[in-house]
Amino acid sequence: MRLVNVRHLLHRGTFASSVEATRIDTDIQNGIQRVCWPAGSGSFTLLNTPDGNGVKPIKNDFIAHLQEQGWQVEQRMRIASRIRPGKVDAVHRLQDGRHFAVEWETGNISSSHRALNKMAVGLLDGCLAGGALVLPSRQMYTYLTDRTGNYSEIEPYFPMWESLVVEGVLSVYVVEYDALSSTAPAIPKGTDGRALR
């Protein structure tokens, strides 16, 4: 899989310029590059059919890579004193006791907003030093489950998160396929409530 853009909505303070932050960015970028389809192919090829591929299995190689690097996966954590959000895809514990959280988008655009809001509140409360959301480009979105969160739809709201007056990191990693093929197997769709994902 290709990383086509990294957008830092917030990149300020001691942690942002630290060795730990650089290592986390490396973990995320290397994890993205490890994502392949079909499994074991060494590249990421999508079935060339609009709305023809599921999304949930896409993150599996990425999460496995982070786990190999010592990240904790599927963690339920109290990101803020006022809320108890659902599980976070992966978290890395920092030397100062805070965490860095990563979410890979497998839901709709409202899920993208919730993920960034959750991490922003964690930054404001001081329990997170940073967070990142991985989501598909608009080009890749065409071939995934309809209404999956994507970069183009959430980009107009970036000024809201960029206006945070706090130190830390809040980033969006934009991913895309390596190739399209009419003969590639479709990525299976699971169920997420009533929607196929």
Catalytic residues: 105
116 close to 122: Cβ distance less than 8 angstroms: no
Q: Which residue(s) pair with 127 in the sheet?
A: none
Give the integer Cα–Cα distance in Å for 193 and 183.
29
Give the integer Cα–Cα distance in Å for 84 and 81.
8
What type of residue sits at position 143? Y
120 close to 170: Cβ distance less than 8 angstroms: yes
Name which of 109, 116, 170 is nearest 141 in CA terms.
109
How many angstroms from the chain centroid is the CA of residue 10?
16
Burial of 17 (0-12, 13-18, 19+ CB in 10 A): exposed
What type of residue sits at position 20? E
